[in-house]
Amino acid sequence: MIRRATRDDVAAVLAIEQAAFADDAWSETLVELELVAPGRVVLVAEEDDVPTGYASAAVVADVADLTRIAVTPGARRSGLGRALLGDLAERVAALGAERMMLEVADTNEPALALYRAAGFAEITRRRDYYGRGRDAVVMEVATR
């Protein structure tokens, strides 16, 4: 089940963050801010009432920026990331977003494959964005 996240989900989202991103995980404060910031859509996926993934986007006018998507290691390669991304795209479109954009490290092949399969196309690169020799691939997809 995928549902809208609430403030009660801070601990669960933080645990998913730490499992997915380790040293690059958001802090508890950042997670709390993401859940309450204006224009944010944050979703949580659950299996048997256990949170297994989440996705977040910031909507400004007709553009949604995918800020985060993460799935616990045990739930990867199950289609959950694709389901979260699809649900998120529908919800941001309902808020007026005509396209969704994201940045991903050019070395993150699983994420790149997910985004390409969901219809995202590369529009530019940001050189050394994630450190020397690690570019950000900027991608977008129409949500309508």
What are the angstrom distances between the C-alpha of 1 and each of 24, 53, 133? Answer: 27, 10, 39
The structural domain count of the chain equals 1
Residues in the chain: 144
What is the Cα Rg of the chain in Å?
14
pLDDT (0 to 100) of residue 76: 85
Alpha-carbon gap, residue 141 to 92, rounded angstroms? 12
14: part of which helix (H) or strand (E)? Answer: helix 10-21
Q: What domain range is 133 assigned to?
A: 2-142
- Whether the full predicted model's pTM is greater than 0.95, yes or no, is no
We report the CATH number of the domain holding residue 113 as 3.40.630.30
Which single residue is written with the structure tokens 């958001």? Answer: 26
Tokens of 129: 């964005």
pLDDT in tens, 77-122: 888 999 999 999 999 999 999 999 999 999 999 999 999 999 999 9
pLDDT (0 to 100) of residue 7: 92
* Res. 17 pLDDT band, cuts 50 70 90: very high
pLDDT in tens, 35-83: 999 999 999 999 888 899 999 999 999 999 999 999 998 888 888 999 9
pLDDT (0 to 100) of residue 23: 87
Tokens of 83: 């389901």
pLDDT (0 to 100) of residue 22: 87
pLDDT (0 to 100) of residue 105: 93
